[in-house]
Structure 1
Amino acid sequence: MKILEPLSVYERTGFEQGLASGLGAALTHIEVRSNAPKGFAALPESSVEPDMERIGHTVAAREGIALVRVPDTGGTGSPSAALDLSLAAVRLGVVRRMLRLAVERLTGRMSGGSPLMHLQLLQGQVADIAAEAAELSAGLSRLDETVSPIVREDLHARVHDMSLRVTGFFGAEGYIADHPARVHHVSALVANVWCSSLVDRTRPTRTTQERNGHGF
């Protein structure tokens, strides 16, 4: 399958509309029944069909995403590099969305009479994540579906690392089901359901040459 939209479109959807909308956009050109890995899928609630068996997951449901078993239709569940990349872009958009919310939270919370966001350490941490997100976004714009599985896996690993760091800005709130930071945990779940590049952990770590070859 080829990527039918610039990856920046998927990133923008994740940033502006959230994970469920981004996932829906990434799956637009995917035949779910024949491509669901091992008969499982993560779908926006609006895409669940009557004969799909739901797998209860409270946190995913709060993000508008359902985990389902897909009836066997003889499909191969073949991996898709294009979907890997589209979802990486969506997840990056979600990281940027939540980083903005984290800055608002840190600006509104006080310590010693000043907003937490005025602390130099926090400013540096926010700036580092913003810079890394911009770098990754630029790198994504140069990729297509011919990129190797190792590069795709590295993309998702980097997005996940940023997600964890952004979650940390919310303190204990970032780990409860009714806080918006739950999206990071659901984002990782969606990636592990759909992304072929995350299935085989026996591959060697991505080489410096491969990283430099793609500019990020």
Structure 2
Amino acid sequence: MSVAFGCVDVAGFELVGYTSGLSAGLAKALADLDDADLMAAAHAGWAAVPAQRVHEGASVLEHHMTTSEGVAIIDVRLPVGLVPLRHAGDRPEVVGLRLAAVRVGLARKLLDQAMGALTDGRPPLHHVLRLGVLTDVLAALTALRGLLEEAVLRPSRAAVVDVHHRLTRLDWQVAKLFGLRGNLADHPVRALFVAELVANTWVGT
């Protein structure tokens, strides 16, 4: 489904991230950008796109976790001497804000999973402590969502980068709730880290 360029429906993009995942959220965030827009707006010549949007012959950066999430990072650098046909305009900021909302949805989904892992009834002490941490992370996510809604009203590169920096720090807190160590490639929390890579290609966080 296409969206009007410049539109940042925080609740809508958040919902897609929560219900359908990163690839679907990325597809919605880029729905109104054509290939020329991608080349103009992507940061440092790399663009994260849904896997189904990769054209035959495209140069793709191999990355196991992105592939597992249905995302590809493609090389959109132009040959030396050529310049993009279009100016980036505010496309990086708009895409960055949309992706931030998608990342909020992903974090919410993982928080719900962490909450569901708590035992019923009167839990052991470590569950009580974990519930306290989860509550703190949820409060931080709610505050960050408010910051995102403010950034949508007054979009700027600095505001977009700041929101993504905060999301990355918060994602680490979410991951800790699962007690993960080492390789995250086989756990749903990998979506949070792939989302950070995706954001890097669009806003250079």
What's the RMSD between the two structures over aligned residues?
2.7
User: Taking structure 1 as reference, are residues 64 and 116 closer, same or farther at Cα in structure 2, changes over 3 Å only?
Assistant: farther
Amino acid at match of 2:149: S
TM-score (norm 2): 0.82
CA separation in 1, counterparts of 2:184 and 2:144? 28
Match of 1:43 among 25, 29, 49: 49
Matched, 1:74 2:83: yes
- The answer to whether the aligner puts 1:52 opposite 2:61 as a matched pair is no
Q: Do the aligned partners of residues 62 and 115 (structure 1) sit closer, same or farther apart at CA in structure 2, a change above 3 Å counting?
A: farther
Name stretches of at least 5 consecutive residues in structure 2 with no aligned partner. none
Matches within 5 A, 1:1-216: 3-30=6-33, 31-70=37-76, 72=78, 74-75=83-84, 78=88, 80-107=92-119, 115=123, 119-144=127-152, 146-172=154-180, 175-196=183-204, 198=205
Letter of the 1:82 counterpart:
V
Identical-residue share of aligned pairs (%): 31
The structural deviation recorded for 1:71 is 5.8
**Residues 106 and 116 (structure 1 numbering): CA distance in 2 closer, same or farther, change over 3 Å?**
farther
What secondary structure sits across from 2:137 in the alignment? helix
- The one-letter amino acid of 1:28's match is A
Between 27-36 and 178-187, the greater mean CA deviation after superposition: 27-36
* Aligned residue pairs, count: 193
- Native 8 Å contact 1:55 1:69 kept in 2: yes
1:64-117 deviations in Å (ceiling 9; x for gaps): 111111263732673621111111111111111111112223438xxxx96569
Cα distance between partner residues in 1 of 2:47 and 2:87: 10
Amino acid aligned to 1:19: L
| Cα distance between partner residues in 2 of 1:136 and 1:43 | 25
Q: By how many angstroms is 1:152 displaced?
A: 1.8
Superposition deviation, residue 159 in structure 1:
1.0
